[in-house]
Structure 1
Amino acid sequence: MTTGSATLSAATRRSVLLLSFATFASMAAQRICDAMLPELSRTFSVSLAQAAQVVSVFAVVYGLAQLFYGPLGDRRSKFGIVTFATLSCCAGSLMSAFAVSLDMLVLARVMVALGAAAIIPLSMAWIGDTVAYELRQETLARVGLGTTLGIVCGQLVGGLLSDTLGWRWAFGLMTLLFGVVGSLLFIDRRRQQAERLPTTNTEPVVRPGFVAQALIIITGPWSRIVLGVAFVEGAAGFGVLAIWASHLHQALGLSLSAAGAIVALFGLGGMLYMVVARQLIRRLGEQGLTLLGGSLMGLSALVLGFTPHWLLSLPACLLAGFGFFMFHNTMQTNATQMAPKARGTGVSLFASALFMGQSVGVLLAAGLVDRIGSGAVIALGGGVLVSIGIFFARALRRREELMRLQ
């Protein structure tokens, strides 16, 4: 990998912006069901745990699909795959809007997951191929801005439309969003083909099979740490996040709109981090970001889980998002560098671990709610994030040594 220029070209910045739109749509699709779970439970006359399948099954399919997209991204145009995956999400979103049963809705969510699975990991891998390492974390933060906006809008729109026009309108909106973004990506892909954007990936091209690629990555000591931490992060972070709106709705008596809007502050906190990411990256470094991010998330989850008044949930959700994305952005940067010769597979394995963890987290959280209460589950998730923040910060001190052993 070359050191590259100190700044990004206008063409690369334009492509990064469009990838931000795509990651926005992908993350909005993932989180749009969170605040509507109680309404889905009532509509289809099922328990909250059964309704949560629209989140947990989505995450399982999303994670397993990485086994396909990773190797494909190493052999074909990563940007092109993201483009057509974005367009393919339209059909699943449209089917979701017209679902007449929970099973049909889950099937439609599977269709969306199959397309959405390519968007974030291959966008990250494309940036890893195109942007020099010294600019990569900042660039990933820009794409992460789209991701965090997706969390904000997914949570907010899911709750707001469920309370007003109806939950089906949320999926209709996603159909339109995926269609517009996919079209813009297609136009930019044609421009890239004409201009041939430069790449920082000057390593010799290798084409081993997926199993061989995956074994090289998962048997490396540093890669195992990154993937293991990603799994736990997905379970304790994104997984438990799925019950936050339901907790505010049921424990504090808030409407679905209000609960979704408050939890959307999690994404707003992530946006605030992205705004100041460049300064924090230079001031704190990766270890500092990891430690502080995990600590903020743990404290915020404790407040959110046990606050007797909804006002305290506002700063709790905001700080939780700020801290979580301090940690998550650092994890993303390390994921792009696990396997420079097979970056698509490496980043896809990272995404697979993250979202398989999310699926486990959703199921565990939904199952534990009836036993220990939603507040205790949220606080427990925060405690786990503090622990892995400390663990990963310590692991970063030995990164160079561990990477030499891969």
Structure 2
Amino acid sequence: MSDAPSAPPPAAPSQGSLNSLILVLGACGFASTFTMRLLDPLVPTLAAEFGRSIAQVAAIATAFSFAYAIGQPFLGPIADSLGKLRTIATCLGALALLSLAVTFAGSFEMLTVVRMVAGIAAGGIIPVAMAAIGDRAPMAERQIMLGRFLVLMIVGQMAGAACSGLIAEHLGWRYVFVMAGSLAAIAGVLVLVVLKPRPDARRAPLSFAGALANYAAVFANPRSKLLYGLVIVEASLIFGMPPYIAAILQERAGVGPSQAGLVIAGTGLGGIVYGVLTRILVERLGPARMTVMGGIVMGLAFALFSLAFLPWWSAIAIFTLNGFGFFLMHGTFQAQATELAPTARGSAVALFACALFCGHALGPVLMGTALHLFGTSGAILVFAAGITLLGFSVPRILPLAGSRT
């Protein structure tokens, strides 16, 4: 049971306002994840462009994720104090400008720095949108609402991975970021025009003391530290792979960035399947069984990807399976995070995102080390075993709200 103080229940919003909320915040998530994953298919292209190794270019993903993570402790209190919708719109505007700035990158160092700053801006979109949904949806419906939000968000992930390879091959990699900036700008305008802040929202003035009080409320719940630790492990095991997929497929089958983008987009397709089935999964399995099943499915997908003799196109189905497994586990974690501290929900979800992207940043480093020590197939199998073990461990480590006994 949570030790955090309870917030008064919000007035029930109309179905129309909820639909508008999910559609617009889904567009924001689309723009954010489009930007987030678009670099993965371009790793070999950028390595050749700037005369760097695959590992060095893959480290840009670590830089983006690390910046995303370190921005969270500041963005959470800002969203709680100034308003979540205002925070989302501002961060989308900054992300649009930074995406356009990448097109002028004349050196590898400039590209890395701009992507790092873009990571901070991106950090004020999806976590804050999740908190906004948590403000409006009761816990019984929250994982289902978040699942619908994820569908639109994941389409952005798929589009970012698939389109970036195609655009890079036909127009050049810089045009990928022109599209990313345009999408972020459009989403920001939608937030300002369509969505309105809650009239009954109570916000404390932004202050250092207020931020500390919010984080004290989060950590008053003993489940918080457990959940955040598990999310770091989950993200390390899952997000270590994407920056290396294009290089692995190029080594195995000589495929280019467009084919690699389709493979990486498979993860998003699996997430869409999860989003469509969320209500059925939540009602029939419950959170505990969903995390176990997610670990098993992801472990199986990684094990299949370790088989180098399979044709490259089989990886599309493999990563679709992997994406479904990931969201079985991670969707459950997300719903739990929104209830850790109802009076400081923006801060709680920001810390959740911070933990996620700390793991996101650590993953490519761990995968790079594993590839050096065990070779491609061995490294993938090590990660497969780790994510399977995590799935079985979660219900034994973390009490999950709504779990079935």
TM-score, normalised via structure 2 length: 0.91
Aligned to 1:32: 38
Question: For 2:210 and 2:46, how far apart are their aligned partners in 1?
Answer: 42
User: What is the alpha-carbon distance in structure 1 between the residues aligned to residue 17 and residue 215 of structure 2?
Assistant: 32
- Give, as a single letter, the amino acid of the residue that structure 1 aligns with 2:137: V
CA drift at 1:254: 1.7
Q: Secondary structure of 1:242's partner?
A: helix
- The question of 1:166 aligning with 2:167 is answered no
Moved more, 268-277 or 212-221: 212-221
Q: Sequence identity, in percent?
A: 31
1:16, distance to aligned residue in structure 2 (A)? 1.6
Partner-residue secondary structure (3-state), 2:41: coil
Name the residue aligned to 1:211.
212
3-state SS of 1:243 partner: helix
Asked whether the equivalents of residues 34 and 155 of structure 1 are also in contact (C-alpha less than 8 Å), the reply is yes
Choose from 77, 88, 91 the match for 2:83: 77
Which one-letter code corresponds to 2:343 in the other structure? K
Unmatched 5+ residue regions in structure 1? Answer: 402-406
- How far, CA to CA, are the matches of 1:2 and 1:139 in structure 2? 20
Residue in 1 that maps onto 2:226: 225
Within the candidate set 38, 61, 72, 1:66 is matched to: 72
- Asked if the contact 2:82–2:206 (Cα under 8 Å) also holds between the matched residues in 1, the reply is no
TM superposition shift of 1:399: 5.9
Structure 2: how far apart are the matches of 1:367 and 1:147? 31
Quick one: which of 31, 42, 58 aligns to 1:52?
A: 58
Task: Name the CA distance, whole Å, in 2 between partners of 1:14 and 1:176.
Answer: 21
Is 244-253 or 121-130 further displaced after alignment?
A: 244-253
**CA deviation profile, 1:52-96 (whole Å, cap 9, x unmatched):** 232110000000000110111121211110011111111110011
Structure 2 portions without partners, runs of 5+: 1-6
The answer as to whether partners of 1:60 and 1:355 remain within 8 angstroms in 2 is yes
Structure 1 position 216, deviation (Å): 4.5
For the residues of structure 2 that align with 1:398 and 1:147, how far apart are their CA atoms? 24
How far apart, in 1, do the equivalents of 2:11 and 2:83 lie?
A: 23
Q: Does 1:108 align with 2:114?
A: yes
SS of the aligned residue for 2:239 comes to helix
1:205 Cα deviation (Å)?
Answer: 11
Deviation at 1:400?
Answer: 9.3
Q: How many residues align?
A: 395
RMSD of aligned alpha carbons: 2.4
- Structure 1 counterpart of 2:263: 262
- The Cα shift of 1:177 comes to 0.7
Secondary structure (helix, strand or coil) at the match of 1:260 reads helix
DSSP-derived class of the 2:291 partner: helix
- Residues 318/265 of structure 1: CA separation in 2 closer, same or farther (3 Å cut): same
Aligned to 1:36, the other structure's residue is in SS state helix
Distance in 2 (CA, whole Å) between partners of 1:326 and 1:298 is 13
Cα distance, 1:7 vs. partner? 8.0
Q: Is residue 356 of structure 1 aligned with residue 350 of structure 2?
A: no
Please tell me whether the aligned partners of residues 29 and 154 of structure 1 are also in contact (alpha carbons under 8 angstroms): yes
The question of whether the paired residues in 2 share the 8 Å contact of 1:206 and 1:342 is answered with no
CA pair 308-218 structure 1, distance change in 2 beyond 3 A: farther
| 1:5/1:132 contact within 8 Å kept | no
What residue identity is the alignment partner of 1:109? Answer: R
The answer to whether residue 334 in structure 2 is matched with residue 332 in structure 1 is yes
CA gap of 1:297–1:157, structure 2 versus 1, over 3 A, is same
Quote the residue 1:133 is aligned against: 139
